[in-house]
Every structure is written in C-alpha cells, then in structure tokens.
Structure 1
Amino acid sequence: MKLNTFILALTLAASVQVYAEEVTLGVWHKLSDHESFEKRGEIRFDADQWHVLNQQRVQHSGPNAAFNAATAANSKASRLQQQQAAKQKQQNELQLQNFPITYENIVPTAPSAIATLADDFVLNVRAPVKHYERDPKPEGPHTYEDGVTETQEEFDQRLEEWTMLQEELDEAPEKTPGTVAFYQIMLKDESRGWEALSSIKSCLLVASDFQERIALHLDHDRKVFAFDYYTTSDQCSEESEKEYPIRSLDVFKNVEVTIDGPQTAPKSIFHKAQAIKVDETGKPEAEKTFFQKYWVYIMPIVIIFLFTGGEPEKKAE
C-alpha cells in the first residue's frame, strides 16, 4: 500500500513538473554565405505565469474598474483597502514590466558548432548574394553610332561622374541589386514537434536598425500555434531598397517578444430569411393592410355585435 502511494505521489510530482516547465522555442535562420542553418537564439516563457498576469491586467483595465474605484472612494472605511489595492497594483505593474518572456541570442563559439547543426531545416532559405558589375573607366572621348564624337568637355564631365559614382560605391555598405530579398526565420518547439516560418524583406531590417518584433499566438490550451515576425519600420529607405547580404549574427539585437492569447468571439445570431411571395406576373406581392390580414377575425365580431344589439333600454318609472 505504501509503495503504491509513493508511486502515485511520484507520478503526480513528475506530471506537475512537466506541466509547469517553461516553453522553449528555438529560433533558426540561414545567413547569406553559409551552407547550413544556424540556431540564432531561443525564446523561453511560462504560459501559466503569463496567463495569470494577463488576467490581472484585464481585471485592472476592465469596464468595472472605474466604478469599483469610485465606490471605494466614497467610503472612509475603505482607505486601507485603497492603499492595499494601490500597493497590489504597483506590484502587478512591476510584474508586467518583468513579463515572463526572455529572448537570448546564441552565437556559435566555433566553426565546428555550425558544421554539426542539422541540415534538414529546409524551411529557411538564404538570400541571394549578388554584386554590382561596375562600368569600366572611360578611356577617351566616345564616338557614337552616327559618327559624332563627344567633345573633350563632355568627356571630362562623364569621367567626373564615373569617379564620383565609384567613390559612392566604395563608401557605401555592400549591397546587392535585383529583386528584393527576404530574410526568413523559423520557430521550432522540439518538445512537441511544432514549427512555423515567417519572413520579411531584408531591407526592412536595415531600415529599422535591426529592431525586430515577434508576436506569439496561443490557443486555448496555451500552446503556440502561430507567430508574427516584423520590424519597427514598414517601409524601406532609399539607402536600403537594394538587397543586403546578412553574414553575421553581430548585427542582430535582442528581439521584443509579445504574447497574444485566445479571444472569445461573440456568438453569431442567425435569422432565417422569409420566403418572398410573388404574384402571377412574377413580381413580389404588395404588403397587405391591417384589415386585409385580420378581416377573418374582425367580421365575426362585427356580426355578433349587430345581431345582439346594444344594452336593453331601461323602463320608465
């Protein structure tokens, strides 16, 4: 009996420990000049702790919060309760600031660490790496197809423009022309075999100075089923409208992670449509008047009133 009780207690303790274990999502991506995928970082959070804090936030911002506060203010005996409530609110705000979500960048310490990573994470694709093909330096006045040769002044101006362009290309960061490249990341929960992919334009990372945002979406079981990935900029600047190869984790910073829980939608009300009656010509019938609808009930009452007559006359004394 004692052995069975011990086994049952051990099983319950193990189940509670597994249930309370925080969720760990691996963030995977593929750099422009790498042949294998790298684990860029991890997102860790406690779904149960988030749920409790979220309920507290909803209660403090609910429609009854102002009414309860006004009612408590009218009572002198509730001053102590107000102080306790203010203290609790301050603690809740502090807890909300320290939301149970952490993101950590993981940088491989050795090239061998990259080589040992799995190569089967095919949901990530690398951005194409292209380079500018610079025009050769003008050697002398150009002769056009119609036989006209540019003057020395025109050649000097063209040579000056070419020199200025080369200086701009030398000073500018390496960028690639062509179609817009997409930077893709994948979140993966290895404990339950879940994974999802999202992508943005690579130029948005440059325009936002690599200020990234990830919004996790939880279902009713508090499991992540989808996520949104975006930056603080929604438009590419003129300087970053070309493709930028991303070759290092050093450019990435800490990512702001938020959680969106399930929302219960209002119940839909279905009204059954009434059939439209048509006449012989196929047109909708005109709506009947009150007398046309209820003459069957009105006529018997009128007939009964006519035959029975009014109240009998009183005899004269």
Structure 2
Amino acid sequence: MLSSSILLFPLLTAASALTVYHRVYIPGVAENSFVERGVIDSSLFQPSPSLSQQWPDFEKALESLSSTPHITLDRVLYQVALKREGSEWDISSVKLCHLPFISSQTLILHTPHASASLPPYAIDYFVSPIPADGSCPSVAGAAATLASPFRALSNINTTVVHKSATLPPLPQLRTPPPLTAEGAPVQPVPEKSFIQKYWMYVAAIVVALMMTGGAPEEEGQSAGR
C-alpha cells in the first residue's frame, strides 16, 4: 500500500475527489496518452488499482529510445497532470532518470482562495531525493536501474499540499513631483545662504559692538581735560 502523509497550507477540503493522471513523455516521439495515476479524496492520495498493470506499457514506451539515438535519457520526462474541461491540461514534469532512486513524492495543488472549496487550477510535482544539480546518473548506472524505472512509484511516501494563491508585496512608490501648468516639474526654491538667513542678527550684533566700543574713549578724553 502507498503510505501518505498530509500537509495542508492552509487547511482546505476538496469539494470532490480529484483524479491525477500521468504518462511518459519523450520529445520528438508521438505523445502517449495520460492514464489515471490515483485519486485525491478528503486530502488523501489513493493510487489507482491498475497502477501495477500500467508499468509494462510505460516501459514499452521507452523502447522507442533505441530507434531515436538523438534523444538522450535526460530529456525523457515523467509527467503528472490535472484534467481541465475545455482547456489544456495542467502538467508538471520530472526527469524519468530520477525515479529509480526516489523515496518520496509531493503533489502541490494550487487553489484560488484559502476560504473557498474550489478545484485546483494547477499542480506541481516533486520527487526526492535527487542530485543537487538535477543531473541524471551515469550511463552505466542508468542502464542498470532503468530496466524497470517505475517500480519505485508503487511504494513511496506521498505528501499532498493544498496551497492558496498569494499576491506579491506592492512596490513602494514615490510621490510624483508637482508640475506647473505647462507640465514641467516645479523647480525647488534655491536655499538661502547663511548671511541671507541671519543678516538681521548679524547687523544687530555689529551695531551693538559699535555702540559699546565708543563709551570708554569718551571717558578717556574727559579725564585728559
């Protein structure tokens, strides 16, 4: 049985069961049809009963790589998708070469609002662990492990995350400069110099010094007489 651990950001309850589909996608080759991967119901992921019967068909699709040598293994994708009526499916992909080494998978369902039980509009799919640079294993290692690359998906931990849409913070806008009637920016008034600002005080100090400086001289003249 596929074990499931559930993480809700925020807590949401789907209005009805949601079907998740999957396929192998090889660029340049006729696209394979999506088949049922499992169902998310009441925030629990239940794999499809026919999952083990799908792996031989998926492995058979990989046989086309031998006839298309120009397509390298790191270009082959494993895709999961949500079906949307009247529009294209929403798809998320990982490299197929990572599947034999994973121990967990995460399905992130993006919903419009946190408070409304609305169907998700997008899905993100992640597997772990994978190399930090996202590269595929060596050719020798890949040949040994990709003989049956999908078996790991039959018994891994699954995390389902419901994530509501969020808006980025608004930019901090500066107040536009005032404009004249002609539409030109209003020029700031030139700043006054120190003398222009405080000339009255300077003049008062000069006058005071002049008045206090004359009295001792008159007293000296009177004493001489």
> What TM-score do the two structures reach when normalised by structure 2?
0.51
Which of 75, 80, 100 in structure 2 is aligned with 1:206? Answer: 100
**Secondary structure of residue in 1 paired with 2:63:** coil
The AA in structure 2 aligned to 1:260 is: K
Instruction: Determine if the alignment matches structure 1 residue 107 to structure 2 residue 49.
Output: yes
Instruction: Give the % identical residues.
Output: 19
Q: Deviations over 1:204-247 (max 9, x none)?
A: 111115x3211223333555333321111222444237894779
For 1:23 and 1:303, locate their aligned partners in 2 and report how far apart those are by CA, in whole Å: 88
Task: Sort the Cα spacing of 1:297 and 1:35 in 2 relative to 1 into closer, same or farther, 3 A.
Answer: closer
For 1:35 and 1:178, locate their aligned partners in 2 and report how far apart those are by CA, in whole Å: 18
Q: Deviations over 1:273-302 (max 9, x none)?
A: 99xxxxxxxxxxxxx9x984x442122332
**Secondary structure of residue in 2 paired with 1:30:** strand
For 1:230 and 1:212, locate their aligned partners in 2 and report how far apart those are by CA, in whole Å: 6
For 2:149 and 2:49, locate their aligned partners in 1 and report how far apart those are by CA, in whole Å: 13
Which of 190, 196, 201 in structure 2 is aligned with 1:296? Answer: 196
Instruction: Determine if the alignment matches structure 1 residue 178 to structure 2 residue 72.
Output: yes
Bigger fraction of residues in strand? 2
Q: Deviations over 1:80-106 (max 9, x none)?
A: xxxxxxxxxxxxxxxxxxxxx111112
The equivalences for 1:223-238 within 5 A come to: 223=118, 224-235=120-131, 236-238=136-138
Question: CA shift at 1:304, angstroms?
Answer: 4.4
Task: Sort the Cα spacing of 1:241 and 1:233 in 2 relative to 1 into closer, same or farther, 3 A.
Answer: farther
For 2:84 and 2:171, locate their aligned partners in 1 and report how far apart those are by CA, in whole Å: 35
For 1:29 and 1:270, locate their aligned partners in 2 and report how far apart those are by CA, in whole Å: 45
Structure 1: 5+ residue stretches without partners: 1-19, 46-100, 112-125, 134-176, 275-287
Q: Deviations over 1:1-26 (max 9, x none)?
A: xxxxxxxxxxxxxxxxxxx8624332
**Secondary structure of residue in 2 paired with 1:107:** coil
Give the CA RMSD over aligned residues.
4.6
Which of 35, 40, 60 in structure 2 is aligned with 1:38? Answer: 35
For 1:217 and 1:40, locate their aligned partners in 2 and report how far apart those are by CA, in whole Å: 18
> What TM-score do the two structures reach when normalised by structure 1?
0.38
Task: Please tell me whether the aligned partners of residues 200 and 230 of structure 1 are also in contact (alpha carbons under 8 angstroms).
Answer: yes
For 1:225 and 1:207, locate their aligned partners in 2 and report how far apart those are by CA, in whole Å: 30
For 1:255, the equivalent position in structure 2 comes to 158
How many pairs align?
162
The equivalences for 1:104-253 within 5 A come to: 104-108=46-50, 128-130=62-64, 178-180=72-74, 181-188=76-83, 195-209=89-103, 211-220=104-113, 222=116, 223=118, 224-235=120-131, 236-238=136-138, 239-240=141-142, 244=146, 251-253=153-155
The AA in structure 2 aligned to 1:22 is: A
The AA in structure 1 aligned to 2:142 is: S
Which has the bigger relative contact order, CA under 8 A and spacing at least 6?
2
Structure 2: 5+ residue stretches without partners: 1-12, 26-30, 54-59, 178-189, 213-225
